[in-house]
Amino acid sequence: MDNPLVGARRQAALLFIFITVLIDVLAFGVIIPVLPHLVKQFVGGDKSQAAYWVGIFGTAFAAVQFFSAPIQGALSDRYGRRPVILLSCLGLGIDFIFMALAPSLAWLFVGRIVSAITSASFTTANAYIADITAPEHRAKSFGMIGAAFGLGFIVGPVIGGLLGDIDHRLPFWFSAGLALLNFAYGLLVLPESLPKERRSPVFDWAHAKPMGSVHLMRDYPQIWGLVAVVFLANFAHFVYPSTFVLFADASFGWKEKEAGYVLAVVGVLSVIVNAVLIGKMVKRLGERRAILVGLSCGVVGFLIYGFAGTGWMFLAGLPISALWAIATPSTQALITQQVGPEVQGRIQGALSGLVSLAGIAAPALFAGSFGYFIGPHAPVRMPGIAFLIAAALLACAVVVAWRYARMPATPTSAVADPAL
């Protein structure tokens, strides 16, 4: 592999990419327990109205990221990884200052949209790692990115909750400082990973189209059932960022600090299940039963959340719901066994596109239903409705998985398109 980075420079670059992703994830995590309360403050303390706006914020954020991430990737192919990553860090820092000073809900919304653009640097970070790492070592390097995600979503909500308990805007200032320090650090240590001779000669709009990879699914009907499971499960998972903070406030009186602690516990349980239990349980159960058991645990967990009358009852559902994570790698494994090696990368890209589409639609459904059922026009007050909807979606995923989660005899190629 022709790699211009070796030795200490490569290690410094990998460390910077790890820190960049960690700060991006921290930025998400720090804001999660605070943003809904800041929105509620702007709408005069009305939880129902705040829920509707949180749903709008979430849908808009996911939609902008869906379109901006592939554009960032195409820009990095044309102009190099370094300027795109550094501009993302700088833009994120400036935008957090903008949101910290936002005088109204409209300005906060504008800041959140800009944040969606500037924090869509994961695509470029992955490309950077691929540039500087030999193929046989990429899994380990990409594992660093996974570790950054896990650490960010454990530490971020705790920091956000503690700072938000002092002032709703303090977490934004904290995130701004981290991002700007990261930009300054990158100016000093981050080298370019993509030499000019290996860059795209022009900006390629064809590769910047987010739906391109999703269309690939049409050629592989043998995985449609498993793809439906992936879509339904990820759709249901968006209930957490869409409603949890306001739900916890409305149901149990939990504010930023308490919500941050609970989200950190969710992160720790996720790490335990992923690092310790998944391998053992999949080996013992097999992929098919692991999918069914994992999804069923998710259904039970969401039902407990939805009907929880006290905070302790809600907390009792956390370890049960955490076992849902064993379904994800098993589903991915069965999908990879259903298609040939020549399309594995594109299939994974298509799955990522579908997850992004779920992130666009889910906040509106979950936050909207929560807002309606705690509002004055609801036939019955039911703050846990969003979790009950998520349980129903996972129950549908269980039914689909029961039908389609089976080991193939051999990997199947794409079905020929008669129009070709």
How many whole angstroms separate alpha carbon 358 and alpha carbon 343? Answer: 23
Position with higher pLDDT, 336 vs 183: 183
CATH class of segment(s) 1-190+201-210? mainly alpha
Same topology between domain 1-190+201-210 and domain 211-409: yes
d(CA 344, CA 225): 17
For residues 197 and 396, the model is more confident at: 396
Q: Which residues pair with 412 in a beta bridge?
A: 339
pLDDT in tens, 262-286: 988 988 888 888 778 887 888 888 8
On whether the CB atoms of residues 20 and 150 are closer than 8 A, the answer is: no
Mean pLDDT calculated for residue range 351-379: 87
* For range 162-170, the mean pLDDT: 89
CA distance 412 to 420: 19
Q: Which two tokens stand for residue 85?
A: 């990553």
pLDDT tens-digit profile of 168-225? 899 999 988 888 888 888 888 777 777 777 666 666 565 556 666 566 667 777 788 8
The residue among 236 and 77 whose pLDDT is bigger is 236
Could you give the percent of the chain with pLDDT greater than 90?
29
CA-wise closest residue to 241 among 68, 363, 85: 363
Return the SS3 of 339. Answer: strand
* pLDDT at residue 221, as a whole number: 77
Report the alpha-carbon distance of residue 139 to residue 320 in Å, rounded: 30
Question: Considering the domain 211-409 in this protein, what is its CATH number?
Answer: 1.20.1250.20
Say if residue 317's pLDDT is above 50.
Answer: yes
pLDDT higher at 318 or 141: 318
Residue 416 has a pLDDT of: 39
Average pLDDT, the chain: 81
Lowest-confidence range among 51-55, 77-81, 104-108, 208-212? Answer: 208-212
Question: Please, which pLDDT band fits residue 356 given cuts at 50, 70 and 90?
Answer: confident
DSSP letters spanning 160-177: HHHHHHH-TTHHHHHHHH
The residue length of the chain stands at 420
User: Residue ranges of the domains in the chain?
Assistant: 1-190+201-210, 211-409
Q: What is the pLDDT of residue 346?
A: 60
Whole-angstrom Cα distance, residue 359 to residue 398?
A: 20
Indicate if the pLDDT at residue 134 is higher than 80.
Answer: no
pLDDT reported for residue 393 = 97
Is residue 266 within 8 A of residue 402, CB to CB? The reply is no
The confidence score (pLDDT) of residue 248 equals: 93
